[in-house]
């Protein structure tokens, strides 16, 4: 049997790199970026500082469903401000616990104050599913 390759830390499963929009970006701009990158959420960053997380659901529920104009409404006004974050060296269980406790599906990964990636609930599920499949062999 080869070495144990189970993913145990956030860095093992996160999507590296950060897709970000400025706080004053329009929701249309953010949605187009999500579509182009095939992702469900972006970091709202003021320079290198993470000031929020904006998801496709935020756009739908907090803006479109309220009748707001996505051309003129800013990412900052609809995003979840001051988001919870995890570090790349945090255990997967800690990330999962934060997601469960706060009912969020994505967390920015921040190291030394800088965003370095994003981890999602599906990233965790995929890692645990692969681990279960390996254990069953």
Taking residues 13-25, what's their average pLDDT?
A: 94
Q: What is the mean pLDDT of the chain?
A: 90
Instruction: Report the pLDDT value the prediction gives residue 54, as an integer from 0 to 100.
Output: 96
Instruction: Report the pLDDT value the prediction gives residue 128, as an integer from 0 to 100.
Output: 79
pTM recorded for the entire structure: 0.82
Taking residues 81-106, what's their average pLDDT?
A: 95
What CATH code is assigned to 10-136?
A: 3.10.580.10
Instruction: In whole angstroms, give the CA distance from residue 44 to residue 90.
Output: 22
Closest of 48, 66, 32, 54 to residue 104, by C-alpha = 54
Instruction: In whole angstroms, give the CA distance from residue 8 to residue 29.
Output: 35
């Amino acid at each position: 049997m080869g070495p144990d390759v189970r993913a145990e830390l956030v860095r093992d499963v996160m999507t590296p790199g950060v897709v970000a929009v400025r706080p004053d970006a329009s929701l249309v701009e953010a949605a187009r970026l999500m579509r182009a990158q095939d992702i469900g959420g972006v970091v709202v960053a003021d320079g290198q500082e993470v000031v929020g997380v904006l998801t496709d659901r935020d756009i739908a529920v907090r803006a479109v469903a309220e009748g707001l104009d996505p051309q003129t409404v800013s990412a900052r006004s609809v995003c979840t401000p001051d988001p919870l974050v995890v570090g790349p060296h945090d255990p997967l269980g800690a990330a999962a616990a934060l997601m469960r406790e706060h009912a969020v599906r994505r967390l920015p990964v921040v190291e030394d104050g800088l965003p370095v990636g994003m981890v999602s609930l599906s990233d965790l599920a995929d890692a645990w599913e692969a681990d279960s499949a390996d254990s069953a062999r």
